Amino acid sequence: MAEKIRVMLSETEVDKRIDAIGEQISHDYAGKQVHLVCVLKGGAFFMCELAKRISVPVSLDFMSVSSYGGATTSSGVVRIVKDLDESLDGKDVIVVEDIVDSGRTLNYLLNLLKERKPKSLKLCTLLDKPDRRVEHVLVDYTGFQIPDEFVVGYGLDYDQKYRNLPYIGVVEL
């Protein structure tokens, strides 16, 4: 049976917020080039929308990680399923994620990427659930802070479904 989805953040709200983040990044990186690193699969929709709104030169790369542990909690030990194609050496890198939850995945990933000698390394996430944080993660750009509810859409999935929803919704079982 299909689940019901309650809208938490409408398409218009999300798009407006991405406009603002794109503007902020364009301002912060004036005269530079930004290298966006997308964490697949969840970060893909957000990264594409964000990249279109950045007015300084942009290059893109993708990586895919899977965290060891249960289905709903991440252990923080991350396995790289698909690594980046390009080196980060000397680049102004922004990691683009769908959501920071416990922070375990990002904490691990950012430490790993730091070792690759980027000129700078920042984190941009569409959603942040601060109440769920276990590991400290410094988030440079946040779309929305949301309460502790399981959300889907704009890249986020429930059992691999609903990534393509153009808004953020809550699954009502």
Q: How many Cα atoms within 13 Å fall on the side-chain side of residue 33?
A: 9
Positions touching Mg ion (CB under 5 A) are 42, 98
Residue 128 binds which entry of ligand IMP, Mg ion, none, CB below 5-8 Å type-dependent: none
| Distance separating alpha carbons of residues 108 and 113, to the nearest angstrom | 9
101 is an active site residue = yes
| Distance separating alpha carbons of residues 51 and 161, to the nearest angstrom | 24
Residue 104 binds which entry of ligand IMP, Mg ion, none, CB below 5-8 Å type-dependent: ligand IMP
Contact present, 100 and 106 (Cβ < 8 Å): yes
| Distance separating alpha carbons of residues 25 and 44, to the nearest angstrom | 18
| Least Cβ distance, residue 149 to ligand IMP (angstroms) | 7
Cα(first)–Cα(last) distance of the chain, in Å?
Answer: 10
| Least Cβ distance, residue 156 to ligand IMP (angstroms) | 4
Is position 98 an interface residue for ligand IMP (rule: CB under 6 A)? Answer: yes
Those residues whose C-beta lies under 8 Å from the C-beta of residue 113, and which sit 6 or more positions away, are 37, 88, 93, 95, 121
CB nearer to Mg ion: give 98 or 128.
98
| Least Cβ distance, residue 32 to Mg ion (angstroms) | 26
Active-site residue identified among 19, 85, 101, 159: 101
Among 25, 151, 165, 168, binds ligand IMP (CB under 6 A): 151
Number of amino acids touching ligand IMP (CB under 6 A): 15
For ligand IMP, the binding residues in 70-89 under the rule CB under 6 A are 74
* Structure tokens that stand for 155 in this block: 């890249």
Residues that bind ligand IMP in the complex, under the rule CB under 6 A: 42, 74, 97-106, 150-151, 156
